[in-house]
Structure 1
């Protein structure tokens, strides 16, 4: 008996072979050839192409190009379009050139009916299945490479290099993709204006996936463009909402947003919140910024705008902006979330660790890793962190 390798992870068993043949004599001949060669096969028959396209849950199809309802390459093309697995085309002697054309069109092999025996038929079926599996693996690898390239491009758009050349400002950013490794809608940025004002943001498009990541990249790019164009800070969120409404795939999509605008003298800052978690003023002990001026999320069709909360900062300060993937992570072995209090504790523990080990990981990395440790593994949702600070 000829052995045929099973797919990885599959149980060994007979090959499922569909013979698409209307001629009784050729059907009997094909079954005898396969039996003579000792192939362990589960043979199925379709007499027409219409019947065959409903029976494609097989390992290989033996296709006659002369059927009552289809002939020649159109028959093969229709079968392939219907999702056929490996296909071996059976041709008559006068149609040998059609066999070559069939392989070019997507068949794995072809055989001349007048010059085939059991050994050749089984070998062709076996090789056709192997070639199809290799083709499927190549396509999967190609899709993986393309997906990785797309992810890299989105990452560059979502997570840019902050444009803050002023060395008096301490700026750190961090990001961790969710458990599946696919970028979501979290984004951040920081830009210095010519007058010395420094603006930093974090944002979060509702949902998780490539569409949300693409929309987040668009909003982040639009925000930087508006800032560099020196649009007044108070007008930024309204204009961003117009971008969101024109670019989102459906009217249900909204975006939360937190923005800090640090004065040129570094003594005060304005905080704008659009439905987003409040930033933290770094300690120790760290505290939460008041949410009294929090406005609605961008894209929510209700009244209300975004008024800034004025913070007097003094000579030594730090502000931590974050997305909700940190607070909403659950504690290991529990359905309870880390929450605001838990995240504050992680932040202060990270600050203490930075003080003990100043040459160790940055604060943003310690915070993200601290939440991950409390969660007991990779986070389900994306997490972005931006820290802005100044020391007199």
Structure 2
């Protein structure tokens, strides 16, 4: 009766006995879709013939250059994506069982093989390997999700804000990169003197390494604020942390820092190679600074950053954000929003409403971190 192999496979047969190899080949030819078979006699030949197209390996564990589980371990190492089916003799059944425990998908006793049994064993081995690989991928995805969660919790701290006179809102959204983490970070800390310190930063690049660096910089910033270190001294310390922790010398970080005075009527800012904050006061929407205070961190070792003194008044709203917002593509002609477009959009809305703003922008091409601080009535 014809054996069933529903798909055309590419198999590698590792067998030093000509008779046994001929038997396996003849039995597999009886399948509905006979597989393409490459026959080798040793592990040494295997290394030359084993390619990514090989889907299943049939291996005899008595070979000229390796025997038993040692031979299997080498095959498994050489073919991590292929199903492995072990061939044994009657007296080596215990070796077959041990081989399955060691990582093979199945084993067959040579004396018991017929066309149907062999085709079924190959098919079973293939399905089991697919299940094993899917399980490994799932475990890896779960571990990645847990690690991402830990990193995100570091990037998104609980603000240390004790005043009821300010309303504080944040948003952190991934861009079209999908699940890739980015180095965007934000934080807010109110010190005992009543000053409110805010930072929004962006480590260039995407991935766990950049996210971890963002966490390190965010924690360093909070620590320095709580220790009373601000201004250029803080920025130089953050620059030193960045240079010590980054994985490549071309990685830099932009950020915007604002310190709001205890009376909440004035702010001192440093825009470090970063998009300028947007301020709404006295019914006017404006950009805090057309030019940054200085270059990003991690580029010039002797950089200096000028202070931006910003009067706020009694009622105001101030938004610090990363470039994911102004690099969003909007409109019929798919143009970048830009800083001017952002200001026009806020003017059209009449105020800074983060949810409405983000909904209008739509799909983000880059990750976005936003801090909105407001004083006065809604």
| TM-score band, normalised by shorter chain | over 0.9
Taking the TM superposition and a 5 Å limit, the aligned residue runs for 1:87-236 are: 87-179=84-176, 180-236=178-234
Inter-partner Cα distance in structure 1 for 2:219 and 2:4: 58
Does 1:62 pair with 2:58?
A: yes
Q: How many angstroms does 1:38 deviate by?
A: 4.7
2:279 maps to what in 1? Answer: 281
2:247 maps to what in 1? Answer: 249
Deviations 1:280-313 (A, max 9, x none): 1125431101245611111012532122211111
Structure 2 portions without partners, runs of 5+: none
2:38 maps to what in 1? Answer: 44
Inter-partner Cα distance in structure 1 for 2:58 and 2:292: 71
Query: Is the partner of 2:193 in helix, strand or coil?
Result: coil
Is the 2:270–2:306 contact (alpha carbons within 8 Å) kept by the matching residues of 1? yes
Deviates more, 1:113-122 or 1:97-106: 113-122
Q: How many angstroms does 1:117 deviate by?
A: 2.0
Rate the CA distance shift 1:382–1:199 in 2: closer, same or farther, 3 A.
same
- After TM superposition, the score normalised by the length of structure 1 is 0.89
Query: Is the partner of 2:206 in helix, strand or coil?
Result: coil
Inter-partner Cα distance in structure 2 for 1:293 and 1:346: 22
Is the 1:278–1:321 contact (alpha carbons within 8 Å) kept by the matching residues of 2? yes
2:12 maps to what in 1? Answer: 18
Q: How many angstroms does 1:371 deviate by?
A: 1.6
Does 1:344 pair with 2:370?
A: no
Inter-partner Cα distance in structure 1 for 2:134 and 2:366: 30
Structure 1 portions without partners, runs of 5+: 6-12, 355-362, 373-377
Rate the CA distance shift 1:292–1:27 in 2: closer, same or farther, 3 A.
closer
1:383 maps to what in 2? Answer: 368
Inter-partner Cα distance in structure 2 for 1:313 and 1:46: 80
Deviations 1:106-130 (A, max 9, x none): 1001112222222221221111111
- After TM superposition, the score normalised by the length of structure 2 is 0.92
Q: How many angstroms does 1:206 deviate by?
A: 0.7
Deviations 1:6-55 (A, max 9, x none): xxxxxxx4122221112110111112222345553222212221222332
1:366 maps to what in 2? Answer: 356
Inter-partner Cα distance in structure 2 for 1:125 and 1:333: 55
Inter-partner Cα distance in structure 1 for 2:31 and 2:325: 62
Is the 2:5–2:31 contact (alpha carbons within 8 Å) kept by the matching residues of 1? no
Rate the CA distance shift 1:22–1:334 in 2: closer, same or farther, 3 A.
farther
Q: How many angstroms does 1:380 deviate by?
A: 1.7
Is the 1:87–1:108 contact (alpha carbons within 8 Å) kept by the matching residues of 2? yes
Inter-partner Cα distance in structure 1 for 2:37 and 2:199: 63
Is the 2:186–2:201 contact (alpha carbons within 8 Å) kept by the matching residues of 1? yes
Rate the CA distance shift 1:3–1:225 in 2: closer, same or farther, 3 A.
farther
Deviates more, 1:63-72 or 1:29-38: 29-38
Inter-partner Cα distance in structure 1 for 2:349 and 2:213: 32
Q: How many angstroms does 1:235 deviate by?
A: 2.3
Rate the CA distance shift 1:119–1:293 in 2: closer, same or farther, 3 A.
closer
Inter-partner Cα distance in structure 1 for 2:275 and 2:102: 56
Is the 2:3–2:30 contact (alpha carbons within 8 Å) kept by the matching residues of 1? no
Is the 2:5–2:32 contact (alpha carbons within 8 Å) kept by the matching residues of 1? no
Rate the CA distance shift 1:137–1:292 in 2: closer, same or farther, 3 A.
closer
Deviations 1:198-238 (A, max 9, x none): 01110000111221111111111111122122223442211
Report how many aligned residue pairs link the two structures.
371
Inter-partner Cα distance in structure 2 for 1:3 and 1:264: 80
